[in-house]
Chains A and B, each alone.
Chain A
Amino acid sequence: MASSSSSAAMRELQRELETKANDLSKLQKDISKNHQVRKKYTIQLGENELVLKELDLLKEDANVFKLIGPVLVKQDLAEANANVRKRIDYISAELKRLDATLQDLEEKQNSKKEA
């Protein structure tokens, strides 16, 4: 009787451990995905900053084109500038959001590890 109850408790514990391990691995997957996305965004941010710097250096009358699909569309310099700025803002906001979620995930991971 005692042995059967203890083995039942053991099984219970084992199942609990398994679910926890699964949770942890899921969290770790999320974190690594987050890292990848963040890397992509960081690269884009760098590229956009480079573009903005070059656009700032251009004279007012320079011709600027934007590649949309297969065609080059002529764009106003001011418009292009504003577009790039907006894009940079968006990417920075996105990066900040990703940072927050990453921190959240890591906290969860740590608490799971301790449990």
Chain B
Amino acid sequence: MQEPVKGTVTPLASLFPPEEAQKASKRVQDALADRQSELDRVQGFIADNTALVNLVQRLPDELHHDIMVPFGKAAFFPGRLVHTNEFLVLLGEGYYAERTSKQTVEILNRRGKALESQVDSLKAMMKDLKAEASFFDATAAEAVEGLVEIREDYVEESSSERVIETGPPKPDSPRFSGEDSMKVAAEDEEYARMMLRFDELEKEELAAGSGDEHNEADVDHSLSQLSGDHVLGSLEERQVRKPLHHSKDEYATTEELLSKKHFEEDFANQLKSKIQLEGLKEQSVPKDSDDVSHGKSFANRATQSSSRGKDNIQALPTSKAETSVQSSKPATDGLKAFTGSIVEHTRNIQMNPREQAPSSSQSSGSQPTKPVSRFKMQRR
């Protein structure tokens, strides 16, 4: 590691002691059990209610029913149920109303609906609690495993300085991080050069091409399918057509096309290595807004859409990584640009269920017997 070490390394166990997390998890589980019993009770009510509805519907079918009348606690005697269409319904709070069978069924159905809404709300509550419980469990497990939280201040211009801190250095992980950061630096430089070239070309075209309004429709067309290779395709199509009208622009557009191709290749490389370049995204975003400000010229639109397309592609791995962070980390580090974590195991790697970064795992997978270190790095 040549670069100076920045940022802090805190073991997750010091932020959230495992016992505390387990206690919290237990409390949530208790609450969950309470809700479950409540749910069972309400569902019992619903079953009773439907049974009662069936009975009430059947009663007026006959003029009278022969029944056994309970008398006291132990005794029954035979009796006869008459007036089978007259019910005295308890409405609640000691109020009773005389109703017919049909009206009673209506009342009971309304009650059933109320019960069902209760069940729904209970289920929603249980879902929330379950999510909470799983979160606490995950935190507890991570704290026990000795997960480490790494924070570094985000430095915008010099993304090549980004160092991947590996905590107590293990033989295999620094090698990887060293390679990674070198790669990052190289690709970044290349990108900066390209962006410089783009700027020049834009200026040229701004000066040359001001009568491109008739391409409006094409632009809209390509804007509507701004994803992945479509962008490239439509861009090429337009750029082939363009020299017909403005021969002056020919040089500029072909040049642009070439560099774009280059750019896309570059981009595929990045996807393969699964490493997010800080500089790439950072630079492309301001670029975007710049272009919007003077958005009439054709060239501007072209670069704009290309950079947007790139964003689209880049968004895929980023969001994947982000979901994994959000599930494991509390939302305290919103201002930090980079969070990474290292999991150290003394024995077996398979114990950790949330392995994300394949590039680092392959190093540890080769030698499972000795203490290994892996890391997950994510961008925020």
Residue ranges of A at the interface with B (Cβ–Cβ < 8 Å): 44, 47-48, 50-51, 53-55, 58, 62-68, 72, 75, 80, 84, 87
Residues of B within 8 A of A75 (CB): 95
User: B215-244 vs A: 1/0 string, CB under 8 Å?
Assistant: 000000000000000000000000000000
Set A54, A68, A72: member contacting B91, Cβ < 8 A: A54
Q: How far is the CB of A91 from chain B (nearest CB, A)?
A: 11
Smallest CB gap from B93: residue in A = A51
Question: 6 smallest A-B Cβ distances: which pairs?
Answer: A67-B94, A65-B96, A63-B98, A47-B92, A51-B92, A51-B91
Q: In the complex, which residues of chain B have a beta carbon less than 8 angstroms from the beta carbon of A84?
A: 93, 95
Q: Given A53-B110, A54-B107, verify A48-B97 contact (CB < 8 Å).
A: no
Find the B residue at minimum CB distance from A72: B96
Q: Nearest-CB distance from A55 to chain B (Å)?
A: 7
Whether A47 and B93, one on each chain, are in contact in the complex, defined by CB atoms closer than 8 angstroms, is yes
Q: Which residues of chain A come closer than 8 Å to B95, judged between CB atoms? A: 51, 55, 64-67, 75, 80, 84
Query: Which residue on chain B has the smallest CB distance to residue A62?
Result: B97
A87 to B97, Cβ gap below 8 A? no
Q: Does B144 contact A (CB under 8 A)?
A: no
B88 at the interface (CB under 8 A from A): yes
B183 to chain A, nearest CB (A): 52
Q: Within the complex, which residue of B88, B93, B110 is in contact with A87, where a contact is CB–CB below 8 Å? A: B93
- Whole-angstrom distance between the Cβ of A96 and the nearest chain B Cβ: 20
* Contact B93 A65, beta carbon cutoff 8 Å: no
Of all chain A residues, which has the CB nearest B98? A63
In Å, the complex CA distance between A111 and B91 comes to 46
